[in-house]
Structure 1
Amino acid sequence: MADTRPELPVLSYLLLPDILSCILVAFGPPLWVRLLAFCAFFYTKLSGMHYYAVDEPAYNFTFGTLFLQQVLAAAHYMLTTNPVDDVRHERDVFKVSARELPLLKRIYWAAGYCFGPRSVGWSDQVANIPARPRISRWAFVRSHLLWMAWCLFLVDIAQTYQHTHPDLFHRPGETLVSVGADGYIMRCVNVVSTMSTVYAMINVHYSVCAIAAVSLGLSGPADWPNVSGRWADAYTVRKFWGKTWHQMLRRSLSSPGRLISRTLGFKRGTTASSYTQLYVAFILSGIQHSGGDYMADPALWRQSFTANPLFYQSFTFFFSQAVAITAEDAMIWVGRKLGLQESRATHLLGYASTFCLV
């Protein structure tokens, strides 16, 4: 069935609500005001997902996911924290809080926090960010231009393959084709093709922003650590998601988990606290990506959700990652009890199991 939804007004639904919420945060209003504003923000994002589509159907998933990503980010900086009182940047010189700054500077300060999902250089900087570059501006720009060229080359290879399988990757018809339709080996090739494109384009978009900001003098190289970690660290599912993959969602996904853990009375650093945060983060990630499922095909999403509301499309995958990490932790614990030590062999086994589980 043809998509009859009107084209998404990007400014009204994707950009303006975030700009207005950032300005509100700069004033540091009481919680009840921020809660009302968040409800309006949430309603706007859901309306954009439900009533509109974009010109290129393949991008509906991206925009749907982005809408709920913005909701989770706003929940952090509007509800679980009050930035003007709770955080500060490493270059801040005010004595007590950002309320001491003139209004325009405070709005700029708030924008830096709200639109910096990893809190680089802030007092609540997320964990496992790659080393911050300490190089000259132009060396930084040159390195990112070279990295962009490599990523675009990777995308070109992946999409050349994808264009040879239009039924799987471009869905010209209504029939869904499984990535494993041609056997396990081709399933692996299909998954690598898809994920390499996602990985490369995340890096390209990040590098474009980094080059622009550093070239214009809006920020320095140290404010732009690499978006992804080392592939050498991806020998467990936990390390893949916690170190190798981008950490752009970590702040907004971990903040609710910490709040719930504290509410349940779990002490920081305990097993109960750790796994509460783990499952909350992946459940929220599953919900966020389900926004992409919904915007891509509302009818299919409703059909899938009605059939099994707890396990549908993207949610199933992200929830399974938390389960996989739990099982993996148990296996590592048993291995240590048996006297096994980390080695090249265990790492190779870990890389293989991580590839299969992710």
Structure 2
Amino acid sequence: MNILEDVYDEIYYGTKLVLRDVFPPPYRRTPITWATFPYTLAFCIPLFFMGYLVRRPGTHLIRLLLLPTVVVMTLKSCYGYMWADAKFAAFNWARGCIGKALEFAFTREGRFKVGETKLGEERTPDAAKKDDDWTPDSKTPSKSFLPTPLADSFEVFFAFRGLGWDFGKGVHVPQEKKPLARRDYLLATFLSVLKCFLVADAMESFIKLIPGVGSPRGGTMFLPWLPPLQRYALSTAVHVASAVCIITGFRTFYELFALVAVGLLGQHPTAWPPIFDNPFSSSSLAEFWAKRWHQVLRRTFIVYGGYPGEFVAGRVGLVLGTFLASGLFHECAALAMGRKWDNGVVAYFTLQGVLILLERTWRTITGRRVGGWPGRIWAYFVIMVLGQSCVDSWHRRGLVGGLLIPPIISPTRQILIPLANKLLPPQFTELLNHTH
């Protein structure tokens, strides 16, 4: 009995030491500097190796054995390091990679591209195939300059939406409105990047004008000294600006990658369909989350919470588990940035799953889908009104007040705000000087 107690004590003590090293309190985290930055990316080496293995037959056991190393290294990257300057905290993103590692490890047969019968035989860039409706273009994309194993690893890792892969069937693919001729596509994408950057810059500059909200220390967007009407008008404006900033920010980076992939790596434009599908035109919550909003983290949330939820409670558990995982994911991001936990954010995301199930119940009872103008009002109420508590939580903790666009490359802060300072009366310029 004493032997068992000793073994238990050793396991308990060892686990406690590991957890204390992986999840240190913010004041004990290693500052990110030029010297320590490479260590924050060390998890990429075994993770990309798993991406290579998942495209090779007979590697399931190796991937399972590699999983604990990848998980611990990824968690250490997220929670063991911290930017010394709080304005850079938003750049801690790696926690989503654990979902990739879990998927790579537990997929017994490996990951197949659409049309493959044997792992690694298909060389067409994955996302150029959309389930069963893909037809080859007369101009086949040139092969990547990367070695085949490395190219395979990169493709499966960055296939967040699963387009062209066995796990991406059923994912909504927004219709491409840009021309598909390579030169025309590159020009249209460049102009789109420029437009998105300018809009994101304007929205971020507006948000940073609000006292407290624009600071890494954080502040509420419900300014208590304003009368109720003005207070909630301002909070709604900040809420919408935050959403537009997220949309245009995602689009800017996504389309920059598309420029590189199509312009330099020879991929076809069809491999890079739009990342959003006009979220503001949603006529139900199900449509908003399944089609209109970006699907980049869809697979991550399904792996984290959807599959465990489905195992426990079937289809209902799949929906609730996916949205619960989304809420936990966003709050783990806050912890990685050294901020306090807020159960309200987790509750809001979980509520989305509950309300989507209510939409299904409505359809079962009435035989009609939630849609039309009533559905749009319903979706706007949940996202634009109820969602303000969630966005305000992020603002209060300074999650949006950090550095997104450096002021030195911000047209709004370098040109428009100084111009407004010269043209507007003094009483209107005091607020503008808050962030300039």
User: 1:240, 1:225 → 2: CA distance?
Assistant: 18
Q: Tell me if 1:179 matches 2:234.
A: no
* Partner residue in 1 for 2:212: 167
Q: 1:105 to 1:341 in 2, by over 3 A?
A: closer
* Other structure's SS at 1:159 match: helix
* Partner residue in 1 for 2:237: 189
* Partner residue in 1 for 2:199: 154
* Partner residue in 2 for 1:98: 120
User: 1:138, 1:100 → 2: CA distance?
Assistant: 26
Q: Tell me if 1:44 matches 2:51.
A: no
Q: Tell me if 1:125 matches 2:192.
A: no
Instruction: Report the TM-score, using the length of structure 1 for normalisation.
Output: 0.79
2:157 to 114, 133, 142: 114
Aligned-pair identity (%): 17
Q: Tell me if 1:321 matches 2:364.
A: no
Q: 1:67 to 1:350 in 2, by over 3 A?
A: closer
Q: Which residue type is aligned with residue 100 of structure 2?
A: A
**Contact 2:359 2:370 (8 Å CA) reproduced:** no
**Contact 1:128 1:242 (8 Å CA) reproduced:** yes
Q: Tell me if 1:22 matches 2:51.
A: yes
Instruction: Report the TM-score, using the length of structure 2 for normalisation.
Output: 0.66
* Partner residue in 1 for 2:186: 141
Describe how 1:77-92 pairs up with structure 2 within 5 A.
77-80=104-107, 82-83=109-110, 86-90=111-115
For structure 2, which runs of at least 5 residues remain unmatched after alignment?
1-25, 124-146, 225-230, 388-436
Count, aligned residues: 328
* Partner residue in 1 for 2:302: 254
Q: Tell me if 1:275 matches 2:312.
A: no
User: 1:341, 1:260 → 2: CA distance?
Assistant: 28
Q: Tell me if 1:286 matches 2:315.
A: no
More contact order relative to length (CA 8 Å, sep ≥ 6): 1
* Partner residue in 2 for 1:72: 99
The offset of 1:350, in angstroms, is: 4.0
Q: Which residue type is aligned with residue 284 of structure 1?
A: A
Q: Which residue type is aligned with residue 162 of structure 2?
A: S
Whose helix proportion is higher, 1 or 2?
Answer: 1
* Other structure's SS at 1:168 match: coil
Q: Tell me if 1:12 matches 2:33.
A: no
Once the two structures are superposed, residues 128-160 of structure 1 have per-residue CA deviations (whole angstroms, 9 ceiling, x without a partner) of 121357711122112211221221121122122
**Contact 2:78 2:336 (8 Å CA) reproduced:** yes
**Contact 2:324 2:350 (8 Å CA) reproduced:** yes
Q: 1:317 to 1:216 in 2, by over 3 A?
A: same
User: 2:179, 2:192 → 1: CA distance?
Assistant: 17
User: 1:348, 1:246 → 2: CA distance?
Assistant: 21
Q: 1:156 to 1:3 in 2, by over 3 A?
A: farther
User: 1:289, 1:43 → 2: CA distance?
Assistant: 19
* Other structure's SS at 2:155 match: helix
**Contact 2:281 2:376 (8 Å CA) reproduced:** no
Q: Which residue type is aligned with residue 246 of structure 1?
A: H
The offset of 1:319, in angstroms, is: 1.8
Q: Tell me if 1:60 matches 2:89.
A: yes
* Other structure's SS at 1:199 match: helix
For structure 1, which runs of at least 5 residues remain unmatched after alignment?
265-271, 305-311
**Contact 1:129 1:247 (8 Å CA) reproduced:** no
Describe how 1:191-270 pairs up with structure 2 within 5 A.
191-231=239-279, 233-255=281-303, 259-260=307-308, 263=311
* Partner residue in 2 for 1:309: none
User: 1:89, 1:11 → 2: CA distance?
Assistant: 35
The offset of 1:50, in angstroms, is: 2.0
- Report the RMSD for the aligned CA atoms in angstroms: 3.2
* Partner residue in 1 for 2:6: none
**Contact 1:80 1:256 (8 Å CA) reproduced:** no
* Partner residue in 1 for 2:414: none
User: 2:113, 2:385 → 1: CA distance?
Assistant: 41
